[in-house]
């Protein structure tokens, strides 16, 4: 019966409350994923506005967005199973460090990787 109920407008505020109760070891994973996603999207938007037209995304922008989304998936999985979510986030962070050699890519990737290692260490 509970699974068939629909949420009212309180769903959005409920997600912010859950974010306030996030364990400390998962915060770097979330921040790294969000930074990667935002940097990838914003650099594309700035490139498109500079050109005045829709342009092809660079491979670094695509990698930042893809691995940022994978990092967010890792964060969501880690709410249910910390080890599996940390492994997903660590893979996304490591891939970002290896494939995106920009300063922001390294920052976001190392943040994701450090958060994943911290989460794995806190579960043992």
pTM here is 0.81
Instruction: Quick: pLDDT tens for 62-118.
Output: 999 999 999 999 999 998 999 999 999 999 999 999 999 889 899 999 999 999 999
3-state secondary structure of 10: coil
**Cα 36 from Cα 95, distance rounded (Å):** 12
Contact predicate 67/92, CB 8 Å: yes
Buried b (16+ CB within 10 A) or exposed e, 87-106: bbbbbbbbbbbebbebebbe
At residue 23, the pLDDT reads 83
At residue 13, the pLDDT reads 63
Residue matched to tokens 């940097």:
39
Instruction: Quick: pLDDT tens for 31-50.
Output: 999 999 999 999 999 999 99
């Amino acid at each position: 019966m509970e699974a068939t109920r629909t949420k009212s407008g309180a769903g959005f505020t409920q997600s912010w409350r859950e974010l306030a109760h996030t364990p400390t070891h998962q915060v770097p994973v979330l921040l790294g994923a969000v930074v990667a996603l935002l940097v990838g999207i914003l650099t594309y938007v700035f490139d498109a506005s500079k050109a005045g037209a829709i342009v092809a995304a660079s491979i670094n922008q695509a990698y930042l967005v893809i691995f940022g989304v994978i990092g967010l998936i890792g964060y969501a999985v880690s709410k249910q199973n910390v080890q599996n979510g940390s492994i997903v986030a660590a893979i996304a962070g490591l891939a970002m460090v290896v494939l995106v050699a920009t300063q922001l890519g390294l920052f976001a990737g190392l943040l994701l990787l450090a958060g994943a290692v911290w989460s794995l260490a806190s579960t043992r």
